Amino acid sequence: MGASVSKIRAFAEAARLGSISRAAEELGVAQSTLSRSVASLEQEWGVRLFDRHGPALALSVDGARLLGEARAACDAYDALDRRVMGLRSLADGCVSMAAPSSVVAMRLPGPLGRFSAEHPGVEVSINECTYGEAERLLLNGAVELAFIPNKLEDQGFISSVYDKDEIVVVAPRGHFAPEPADIAVEQLLGERFIADTETAPLLQRELKGPCIHCETSNITAILAMVEARLGVSLLPSLALERTGFELDVRHLRKPTHRALYLVRRREVDLSLAARAFLACL
């Protein structure tokens, strides 16, 4: 059954008003056009919808049985049309992303604030997680945007550098001698580490058999444990912005940086809301 919504609406309006001419006026079409639409619908469905006796227009038995569903179809189409218009005007929609806690806390509030102010009807879904989880969510199609430390160009994604920060040594106050100001990797041999899940690979690459006392993705927990003299840590400097902990932060003698990528599918594959959010970043 391939009847168009316009034909179904012609039937529903004619039934509501009891007149072809009044229904045509209501819908803004010529009376002959509306009459043809109703006749065409009757032919497509193989059902007589109206009993016609002179100027009077009355629903047939079959027409009366179909009217409820016809009205529901028109209402459903109108709701769909409103939703489409809402998405196109960004009065509706959803943008989903995955990012580590440091990015959520330090980099996203500004862009999210601007985006929400411009598009208050759009839902923002943020998965705060590890980089590995963010990548899996993106690959599985659960989110549209992900902030991760590696590119995914070869898998049909677009990757662009979003941020770049230095990996620093974080220790309790007074743990290291005042001089030298920077720390050689060799000085960390034998230290107990409170390891960040995402920088642990760097730690394991630079140090053979590091003593990892605890490993977590919770930056606040790491900083609290370091402050309590349970160990030292290697962290991206982004994680140390706006913290109130009493810590000794040192640069590595051989500077190491972490590049953070914003990874997404091609723009044509993104939702309208996601495209608009990219403009705020």
Other Cβ atoms less than 10 A from the Cβ of 3: the count is: 16
Q: Worst-scoring range by mean pLDDT, 58-72, 202-216, 258-272?
A: 202-216
Q: 69: which residues sit within 8 A by CB, 6+ positions away?
A: none
Average per-residue pLDDT for the chain: 88
Query: pLDDT (tens digit, 9 = 90+) per residue, 201-247?
Result: 777 777 877 888 888 878 889 999 999 999 999 988 888 877 778 89
Q: What are the structural domains of the chain? A: 5-88 (1.10.10.10), 94-162+260-280 (3.40.190.10), 163-257 (3.40.190.10)
The pLDDT value given to residue 210 = 82
User: Could you read off the pLDDT of 47-63 as tens digits, one per residue?
Assistant: 999 997 766 789 999 99
Q: In this structure, are residues 264 and 156 in contact, taking their beta carbons and an 8 Å threshold?
A: no
The span from the CA of 214 to the CA of 120, in Å, is: 41
pLDDT above 90: residue 45? yes
- Is pLDDT larger for residue 281 or for residue 17? 17
**pLDDT tens digits for 126-183?**
999 888 899 999 999 999 999 998 888 767 799 999 988 888 999 999 999 988 889 9
In single-letter form, the type of residue at position 271 comes to S
Terminal C-alpha separation, the chain: 47
Tens digit of pLDDT for each residue in 8-26?
999 999 999 999 999 999 9
Output the pLDDT for position 280.
Answer: 84
pLDDT at 243: 74
Average pLDDT estimate for 104-120: 89
Rounded CA-CA distance 125/146 in Å is: 12
pLDDT of 204 reads 74
The pLDDT assigned to 3 comes to: 65
User: What is the band of 1 on the pLDDT scale with cuts at 50, 70, 90?
Assistant: very low
Q: At CA 45, angle to CA 41 and CA 49, rounded to 5?
A: 65
pTM of this prediction? 0.66
Kindly state the tokens that stand for 131: 């980089």
Residues 82-111: tens digit of each pLDDT: 877 766 766 778 999 999 887 888 889 999
Comparing 34-38, 62-66, 205-209, 253-257, which segment has the lowest mean pLDDT?
A: 205-209
